[in-house]
Amino acid sequence: MAGVLALSSTSPAAAVVGGDRAEIRKYPWTVALASSQDVKNPDCAGTLVAPRKVLTASHCVNPATVDLMRVVGGRENLRDTAKGTVRKIVQAWIHPKARTEGPGATYAHDIAVLTLNAPMPYRTLPLATPAQPSLYEEGTPNRVLGWGSTTGRENDDRVPPLQTALIPNRGDKQCVTAYGSRRYDKRYTMCLGYPAGGVSACQGDSGGPVVVKGRLVGVVSGGGSCRSRLYPGVAVKVAAYYPLLKNLTAR
């Protein structure tokens, strides 16, 4: 499995470590991003926010090879190719301030919007808005979903069925301590993890949904470790980009 993550010199946090199997019928807006050559092995995840629009992480999208990417929906087990729907990508918008590698790397702005060649026949997920600050309160449980590693081992090549976990909003202090205020800009990012660690998004979950009360509140971006209590997971705050995303996804 080609986990696509950045922003860490240790094992990056991007199926979900410490999670449980999820039924795709309950979370039909969760989609996988994979190569057209191997749709059974996802690189990242994403969220269907309109019939032809997928919100994911910018570091999951390479403009030079986007025509070779596929979006897979309605498939709980990605090896079950008789089920679900596969779509091509006809356009990719990447946040112009996204900087996930090199000098000035930051989790902020790690978002991208993909336009599909045809609508997906699944329910979409509404975006969190700036008028819903309670969705981002410290201690709030956040549902995270993906097909990434369940072990936290960097070279784990097994692809589990869709996994999910409830992970609390850790508050900003621990992530600022772990990553610095430049890399973790609390205006645009959110910190996810238990005080004891052990439950997190992991390799392959990047770009996947973070959900509270039926709203997409975040996009999984990265972190320092899939299990460490000192290096929680980081997601991009959807509400911080709401006017922009509303415009992009309505086209």
**52: CATH:** 2.40.10.10
- Residue 205 is a catalytic residue: no
Clarify whether residues 146 and 233 are in a common domain.
Answer: yes
**Tens digit of pLDDT for each residue in 49-63?**
999 999 999 999 999
Say if residue 192's pLDDT is above 70: yes
Catalytic residue, from 43, 95, 110, 225: name it: 110
Pairwise CA distance, residues 16 & 219, whole Å:
14
Clarify whether residues 207 and 156 are in a common domain.
Answer: yes
In a domain, 15, yes or no: no
Clarify whether residues 132 and 234 are in a common domain.
Answer: yes
In a domain, 5, yes or no: no
Clarify whether residues 53 and 76 are in a common domain.
Answer: yes
Say if residue 107's pLDDT is above 90: yes
Clarify whether residues 42 and 115 are in a common domain.
Answer: yes
Pairwise CA distance, residues 201 & 31, whole Å:
15
Say if residue 148's pLDDT is above 90: no
Q: What pLDDT sits at residue 191?
A: 96
Clarify whether residues 172 and 209 are in a common domain.
Answer: yes
Say if residue 19's pLDDT is above 70: no
Clarify whether residues 103 and 56 are in a common domain.
Answer: yes
Clarify whether residues 111 and 134 are in a common domain.
Answer: no
Comparing 7 with 104, the larger pLDDT belongs to: 104
Pairwise CA distance, residues 154 & 89, whole Å:
28
**Tens digit of pLDDT for each residue in 118-131?**
999 999 999 999 99
The rounded Cα 215 to chain-centroid distance in angstroms is: 14
Pairwise CA distance, residues 178 & 65, whole Å:
33
Could you tell me the residue range of the domain that residue 104 belongs to? 28-124+243-250
Say if residue 112's pLDDT is above 50: yes
pTM of the model: 0.90
In a domain, 136, yes or no: yes
Please state the domain count of the chain: 2
Catalytic residue, from 58, 59, 225, 228: name it: 59
**What φ, ψ does residue 136 adopt, rounded to 5°?**
-110, 15
Give residue 9's pLDDT band: very low, low, confident or very high (50, 70, 90).
very low
Catalytic residue, from 11, 58, 206, 225: name it: 206
